[in-house]
Amino acid sequence: YDDRDGKIWMDGKLVEWRDANVHILTHGLHYASSVFEGERCYNGKIFRGHDHSVRLRRSAALLDFEIPFTAEEIDAAKEEMLKANGWRDAYVRCVAWRGTGEDMGVSAKRNPVRLAIAGWEWGNYYGDAKMKGAKLDIAKWKRPSPETIPTSAKAAGLYMICTMSKHAAEAKGYSDALFMDYRGLVAEATGANIFFVKDGEVHTPLPDCFLDGLTRQTVIGMLKDRQIKVHERHIEPAEMEGFQQCWLTGTAAEVTPVGQIGDYNFEVGALTREISEGYEKLVRS
């Protein structure tokens, strides 16, 4: 995967895909001093691209480092990378990290902060079965408390248990895993937020210990525009028995219907389809 044609933007300029490497003594690799963004470009325009640039800088600040590019410069760099590769529809991945330097211990204040922007063509995150409804396992790990780690940052360190949980779910034939949080409440999937429908109203966990996704915010806006009541609140796992529909939101997942979580089943109902199709229209409009 690393030896191929293409351009990646690194620290201010485009480099060949195969030359976009970092040294083995990169601080971010050893200590997870790394933050990232996942974005999608539709018809030549990144959906909420500037919001992603702002979030990237905010995630870095939460980890106590500053990206040496403004949000506007990051916007321009993303466009430069997409143009150089000739992509109009692509997934965009920005990553910022503490690099190599004199400090290779926990403290790394003198190591330069690096920024890279790559992209690739990516279809449905949950494959061809998207509209049939994804099957989710319940993760063994819990989303941590905001007193444990800066949970509102999109930081690499927060994904260690996501990869482990997704692998465990896939090994059992599921597409993904749903996390409970440190209190035992419903939280999010390994790379997406979750919504439920009950009697025409929508319920979604309060994002007080996980990422308040941009897609989540967009979808809440879409529901409010349609005069549908949205309850952002703490949700107990046993409540899932009474919910009729369920979907996931995320830049990669977009709006993906969920058919099953553990022993609970959901229908891919009219509202789920409307929001999923409405989101597709919105991102391309």
Q: Is 191 in the site for ligand PMP (CB under 6 A)?
A: yes
Q: Is 59 in the site for ligand PMP (CB under 6 A)?
A: no
Least separation, in Å, of the C-beta of 192 and ligand PMP?
A: 5
Smaller CB distance to ligand PMP: residue 204 or 249? 249
Smaller CB distance to ligand PMP: residue 27 or 216? 216
Least separation, in Å, of the C-beta of 126 and ligand PMP?
A: 13
Taking 3-state DSSP, the helix, strand and coil percentages for the chain, each rounded to the nearest 5, stand at: 30, 30, 35
Smaller CB distance to ligand PMP: residue 7 or 166? 166
The one among 34, 151, 251, 276 contacting ligand PMP by CB under 6 A:
251
Least separation, in Å, of the C-beta of 250 and ligand PMP?
A: 4
Smaller CB distance to ligand PMP: residue 108 or 161? 161
* Residue at shortest CB range from ligand PMP: 213
Q: Is 165 in the site for ligand PMP (CB under 6 A)?
A: no
Residues forming beta bridges with residue 217, ordered by sequence position:
none
DSSP 8-state symbol, 4? S
CA dihedral 111, 151, 221, 253 (to 10 degrees): 80
Least separation, in Å, of the C-beta of 273 and ligand PMP?
A: 20
Residue type, 61: A
Q: Is 213 in the site for ligand PMP (CB under 6 A)?
A: yes
Within 27-46, the residues that bind ligand PMP by CB under 6 A are 38
Within 113-132, the residues that bind ligand PMP by CB under 6 A are none
Q: Is 205 in the site for ligand PMP (CB under 6 A)?
A: no
Residue type, 146: P
Q: Which stretch binds ligand PMP (CB under 6 A): 89-97, 124-132, 189-197, 274-282?
A: 189-197
Using CB under 6 A as the binding criterion, the count of chain residues that bind ligand PMP stands at 14
DSSP 8-state symbol, 145? P
- Sequence-separated (6 or more) residues with CB below 8 Å from residue 256: 124, 125, 126, 130, 134, 192, 247, 248, 249, 276
